[in-house]
């Protein structure tokens, strides 16, 4: 029980850290980019926190997408509908965040069926 509390506490701390305001250099970006980045950070932080055991299993199997397909597809669909339906020059921040946080900068951990960036 104590170990579970420590894991949850660490997960909450990581989630809160990921939601902090971006550095001053990034604040010059327009609101669309900031909203897209925040959406991506929150969705990926939720996956990392609430599906921590699946994330670990997906990393070990080198197939995060196969393990988190439902959650990743829902996030991708939401990101696409919210930010990529109009041409606004917004990169796929969701993909970037999945690679950074879930795959720990190793795209091969996403697995062979991962469809890649949306944009």
Whether 119 maps to a domain, the answer reads no
88 in a structural domain: yes
To the nearest whole percent, how much of the chain has pLDDT over 90?
63
pLDDT of residue 27: 47
Q: 53, 56, 73: which is closest to 109 by C-alpha? A: 56
* DSSP label of 85: S
Number of structural domains the chain divides into: 1
Residue 115 lies in a domain: no
Asked whether residue 25 is assigned to any structural domain, the reply reads no
User: Where does the pLDDT of residue 119 fall: very low under 50, low under 70, confident under 90, or very high at 90 and above?
Assistant: low
Which token pair is 91?
A: 């990169």
Q: What is the pTM (predicted TM-score) of this model?
A: 0.70
Is 45 inside any structural domain?
yes
Q: Give pLDDT tens digits for 28-66.
A: 558 889 999 999 999 999 999 999 999 999 999 999 999
Neighbours of 119 (CB within 10 A): 15
41/21 Cα distance (integer angstroms):
11
Per-residue pLDDT tens digits for 69-106: 999 999 999 999 998 887 778 899 999 999 999 999 99
Q: What are phi and psi of 11, to 5 degrees?
A: -65, -40
Q: Which domain holds residue 79?
A: 2-20+30-110
Model confidence pLDDT, tens digit, residues 63-76? 999 999 999 999 99
């Amino acid at each position: 029980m104590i170990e579970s509390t420590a894991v949850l506490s660490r997960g909450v701390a990581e989630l809160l850290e990921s939601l902090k305001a971006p550095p001053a250099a990034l604040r010059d970006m327009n609101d669309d980019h900031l909203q897209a980045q925040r959406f991506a950070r929150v969705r990926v932080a939720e996956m990392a926190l609430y599906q921590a055991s699946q994330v670990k299993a997906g990393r070990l199997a080198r197939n995060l997408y196969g393990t988190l397909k439902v959650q990743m597809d829902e996030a991708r669909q939401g990101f696409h509908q919210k930010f990529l339906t109009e041409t606004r020059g917004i990169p796929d921040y969701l993909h970037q965040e999945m690679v950074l946080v879930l795959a720990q900068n190793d795209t091969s951990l996403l697995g062979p069926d991962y469809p890649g960036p949306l944009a």
